[in-house]
Chain A
């Protein structure tokens, strides 16, 4: 029996919504105020950064790549933004532009080297992880930079705790999903992840597409850094350490295959929601650090095992 991909995606999303609902019910039993507008607002306030990076990471995983540099690049972009605003006394617009340029540049370097010399992105982005962190320390002389309220309108709640950053992140999810499902580029991206050789034999040069995917992620990382600086009113050169692993975990929980060729931006959104609700709930019930790590790790592994069964079910 063959199922339509649309149906499979719907089943996938429904299963994940059920997992999310399960987490919410579980935490509401163990804490007093989990099911509340406050919880929703806090999560909505915190996830935009991670969400936009996860959207970009979904594309990178789809082409069977990986980007380990996102945490460091986010710190670099944040420090560029803060130095432009505070030390160079630039206006908000040029500062934001140079910040975005920094992110795109890092993505371009990652993409160019990965695609041109066919070096595994794992190694290239590992190098970028170090360089971007070094750059972030150089920009700020390793000191946390206080920015103040010049850009905090981005994360200020507009209505019901929903901020501009949250709306922008939702827009990114929508655009990402459209690119993936409704454009030729999206088809090519899935094609590269499924079989690059087949793409080559059909006369399609995969290199510019790969570069574009890394630049897209770089841009989104810069956007994430703007959200984060606006929320924290400061740029921390140590920001985002270990973020790459959390983002990859969220994307994989969302059912995107780390081996490429299969995934969806919408379910990445659900993956981010699941991981952040889990983290937030564990914080709220006052779980100790070891317990948090044990549970989060177990959830990641369970998600991948679940995904394996879903794939078999679909293949059957």
Chain B
């Protein structure tokens, strides 16, 4: 019995030795070979990252001779642990560059620092790593990504043009600990304050359609004169639209963020007034180009802001 238990252990050890050998072989490959870049995203169950993955793949198809691309994602948006593990795995595999959309702007910094001390180029995309933590590690990582707050403000301003001063509006935000959720709420609030609207309620819909629908229904009941609901993403906007419809309050305007395919019909019908497109594919491509440039020149490129476009019918 005891002896049979040793077999898997032996296999495991043999595998480890084998992997170690192949990893070191990769690490000492001659110069001039194709570099390997890994694009490490958040949850691939999220349409935003699927668009990002598609964009990266298309770019790679056109530049296969220049580099090898590995695409990685985590199961759950909040699974920070798993993302750190993948970074360590990539360090062990000896990749040349990591282009990362961190699941947490603070917790991923040590892993990125480890990658850098192993001579790996790190480019930060989408969600910016925390400046103070980076500084404490003595690290500078180039950032490529959108300004969520500015995008949300553009959506908010477009909405404001359809409202009057003093109108009551409410905000359904994403998970309140996520930086992009905070930024979008800030942008929405700025636009509403500038337009003279009255933000009567800010609550989380946890990025989810059904939860947002419940929250929106409660807001509509509590404020019979509510004029608009601003949602931190399009899924939540779809939920808000269903609540507006159920309450028979079609005068209430709904705006979203992300421009997912499911809202295209809603935009055309006018049930959703506007949304924003962050061009996830462009973010990924720019990140990869940055990594290639840094690999070629050995110089870190500066931060870049990628565009966020207002989308209206």
Contact A280 B214 (CB under 8 A): yes
Is A67 interfacial (CB 8 A cutoff)?
A: no
List the 4 shortest-distance A-B pairs measured between CB atoms, nearest first: A283-B218, A284-B218, A146-B262, A42-B217
26 contacts between A and B (CB under 8 A): A31-B222, A32-B222, A34-B221, A42-B218, A42-B220, A42-B247, A45-B217, A46-B217, A137-B45, A141-B50, A144-B209, A144-B235, A144-B262, A146-B261, A157-B246, A232-B210, A232-B239, A232-B242, A236-B209, A239-B210, A240-B210, A241-B208, A283-B217, A285-B222, A286-B222, A289-B204
Contact A232 B213 (CB under 8 A): yes
B203 at the interface (CB under 8 A from A): yes
Query: CA–CA, A42 to B213, complex, Å?
Result: 10
Check if A38 sits within 8 Å of B247, measured CB to CB. yes
A142 touching B215, Cβ below 8 Å:
no
Within 8 A of A (CB), among B191-234: 201-204, 206, 208-210, 213-215, 217-222, 224, 234
Q: What is the CA–CA distance of A231 and B262 in the complex, to the nearest angstrom?
A: 15
CA distance A239 to B224 in the complex (A): 28
Residues of the B chain whose Cβ atoms lie less than 8 Å from the Cβ of A280 = 214, 217-218
B313 on the interface (CB 8 Å rule)?
A: no
B189 to chain A, nearest CB (A): 15
B47 in contact with A144 (CB, 8 Å)? yes
- How many Å lie between the Cα of A36 and that of B238 in the bound state? 25
State A45–B208 Cα separation when bound (angstroms). Answer: 18
B265 contacts the other chain (CB 8 A): yes
A39 within 8 A of B: yes
Asked if A232 contacts B47 (CB within 8 A), the reply is no
Q: 9 new A-B pairs (CB below 8 Å) besides A41-B246, A144-B47, A148-B265?
A: A36-B221, A38-B221, A42-B243, A144-B234, A236-B210, A239-B208, A239-B209, A280-B217, A284-B218
Q: Is the CB of A144 within 8 A of B260?
A: yes
Q: Which residues of A contact B260 (CB under 8 A)?
A: 143-144
Closest to A285 in B: B222
In the complex, B119 has a CB within 8 A of chain A: no
**Is the CB of A238 closer than 8 A to any CB of chain B?**
yes
Tell me the residues in window 5-42 of chain A with beta carbons closer than 8 Å to chain B beta carbons. Answer: 31-34, 36, 38-39, 41-42
Contacts of A284 in B (CB 8 A): 218-219, 221-222
Q: Does A164 contact B (CB under 8 A)?
A: no
CA distance A257 to B221 in the complex (A): 35
For the complex, is B26 an interface residue (Cβ under 8 Å from A)?
no
Point out which of B209, B221, B246 has the most chain A C-beta atoms below 10 A from its C-beta.
Answer: B221
The reply to whether the CB of B23 lies closer than 8 angstroms to some CB of chain A is no
Q: Is the CB of B247 within 8 A of A142?
A: no
- Least CB distance, A235 to chain B, in whole angstroms: 9
Q: Judge if B46 is at the interface, Cβ distance under 8 Å.
A: yes
- For residue B25, give the distance in angstroms from its CB to the closest CB of chain A: 35
* Contact B222 A236, beta carbon cutoff 8 Å: no
Taking each of A232, A236, A287, which has the highest tally of chain B beta carbons within 10 Å of its own beta carbon?
A232
* Bitwise interface map of A from 35 to 59 toward B, beta carbon under 8 Å scored 1, else 0: 0101101100110000000000000
Q: How many A-B residue pairs have CB under 8 A?
A: 115
Could you give, for residues 162-182 of chain B, a 1 whenever the CB lies within 8 Å of some chain A CB and a 0 otherwise?
000000000000001000000
Contact check, A143 vs B266: say whether CB atoms are below 8 A apart: no
Nearest B residue to A289, CB-CB: B204
Q: Chain B residues near A281: list those with CB within 8 A.
A: 218
Kindly state whether residue B252 has any CB partner on chain A within 8 Å. Answer: no
* Across-interface contacts of A41 in B (CB, < 8 A): 246-247
Q: Are the C-beta atoms of B214 and A279 separated by less than 8 Å? A: yes
Q: Do the beta carbons of A142 and B214 come within 8 Å of each other?
A: no
Instruction: Tell me, yes or no, whether B111 is within 8 Å of chain A by CB.
Output: no
Specify which chain B residues have a CB less than 8 angstroms from the CB of A258 in the assembled complex. none
Say if the beta carbon of B294 comes within 8 Å of chain A.
no
Chain B residues whose CB sits within 8 angstroms of the CB of A98 once the complex forms: none
**What is the CA–CA distance of A36 and B219 in the complex, to the nearest angstrom?**
13
B38 smallest CB distance to A (angstroms) = 20
Within 8 A of B (CB), among A263-316: 279-281, 283-289
Across the interface, A45 reaches (CB within 8 A) one of B202, B204, B215, B246, namely B246
Q: CA A284 – CA B221 in complex, angstroms?
A: 8
In this complex, which of A32, A280, A283 has the most chain B Cβ atoms within 10 angstroms of its Cβ? A283
Inter-subunit contact A142/B47 (CB<8 Å): yes
Complex CA distance for A33 and B243, rounded to whole angstroms: 17
Chain A residue at minimal CB-CB distance from B46: A142
Residues of chain B with a CB closer than 8 A to A285's CB? 222
Q: Is the CB of B235 within 8 A of A236?
A: yes
- 1/0 per residue, CB under 8 A from B, across A133-150: the answer is 000010001111110100
Assess the A232–B238 pair: CB atoms within 8 A.
Answer: yes
